Amino acid sequence: MRIEDRALGVYGLEYWGEKGDVEELKDFRLINLVGGLYKLLAKVLANRLKLAVGEVVSKNQHAFIQGRQILDTVLIASEAIDSRLENNNPSLFLKLDIEKAYDHVNWDYLLSIMSNMGFGQRGLRQGDPLSPYLFILVMEALNQLLFKARRGAPLRGLRWEEVAIFGLKVNRDKSEVIPVGRIESLEDVVSVMGFRVGKLPTSYLGLPLSASFKSSRNVCARCEKIQKDFLWGSGALEKKPHLVNWSLVYANKEGDLRIRSLVALNKAFLRKWSWRFAEERESFWKQVIIGKFELEEGGWCSRGVRGVYSVGMWNAIRKE
């Protein structure tokens, strides 16, 4: 959806959102239609910064860093929940969402780290190649404050509704307090933070936590039926005759429609983790798995997963 006005000159007002409904003016953002030089310089700086950012941020940051994958975070979170359930240790998990993270970064703070970068005075430009790396540096400072808090240091200048020193705000509508076990003071925590109470299983980065990561054949069959109806029904999902056997649609890589068997694809994604475990030496997610399950003789994989719950992601991987 786009709103354009001559008063905006070469600028346009465009809606970029996750939902189709536009309720307030804040759902729109200004888009600069003339930014070729800016994009070129941002790409050059991003290519330089990404070579070093992995050396200066903590191991538990995974997004946009070479040699790390954002899905590693999902595995670590999944195993943390599994451990709490297994040990019957009452805990609270906070699922926090930053409200328009790229718009609210405190530039006074950021420029103290990345001096003389020459960017604008308010926020990062969402969509440019440099923004993710700059945002990683901002979150690293918050990360270090949380590490110090574990050792007893107070969190100063921070409020849940607004991380003042960074200029960030927590999106209350998308943030949750997820209890694991019986939490006696849960109502007090919720009243202070103002978040809704979530429950397991939940989703994190679009993937399930405390749920099966292996797709059942019934689910895959249903999804494949939707694919078939879409292909032969011209996108209307109508029930029409299928003119070609489905096995021929994804028969091979050359000449097909690049549609894969969902069962085989799910197994391949899970088994890729086992290959990464054997290949990667110092990955943080691998150290978490080794610390939890220990290594098998030879070091190619962890010991078997045992437990009453076994809802962690590694359980599904080891079964493949």
For 210-248, write each residue's pLDDT tens digit: 766 777 778 888 888 888 777 777 656 566 677 777 777
**End-to-end Cα separation, the chain, in angstroms:** 45
User: What does 26-43 look like in DSSP terms, one character per residue?
Assistant: GGEEEEES--HHHHHHHH
Query: How many whole angstroms separate alpha carbon 138 and alpha carbon 56?
Result: 12
Mean pLDDT, range 111-130, rounded to an integer: 54
Contact 44, 271 (CB under 8 A): no
> Alpha-carbon torsion 61, 63, 64, 65, what sign?
positive
Q: How far apart are CA 89 and CA 81, in angstroms?
A: 10
Structure tokens at 79: 């195993």
CA 190, chain centre distance (Å):
24
Closest among 117, 118, 145, 83 to 309, alpha carbons compared: 83
Averaged pLDDT for residues 296-311: 70
For residue 161, how many C-alpha atoms fall within 13 Å in the half-sphere facing its CB?
5
Strand residue runs (E) in 23-98 = 28-32, 91-95
pLDDT in the model for residue 30: 56
Rg (the chain; Cα; Å): 23
316: how many CB neighbours lie within 10 A of its CB?
20
| Residue that is written with structure tokens 């800016």 in the block | 38
Lowest mean pLDDT among 21-25, 295-299, 314-318: 21-25
What residue segments make up the domains of the chain, in order of their start? 58-209, 212-259
pLDDT of residue 120: 44
Q: Tokens representing 59?
A: 């191991």
Q: Which residue has the higher pLDDT, 15 or 195?
A: 195
CA angle, 118 as apex, 57 and 60 as ends, to 5°? 10
Would you state the pLDDT for residue 218? 82
What is the rounded average pLDDT of the residues 100-106? 65
What φ, ψ does residue 97 adopt, rounded to 5°? -120, 130
**Residue 176 half-sphere exposure, CB side, CA atoms within 13 Å?**
14
Dist CA 234 CA 180 (whole Å): 46
Candidates 175, 198, 207; CA nearest to 78 is: 207
Contact 77, 60 (CB under 8 A): no
What is the value of pTM for the model shown? 0.68
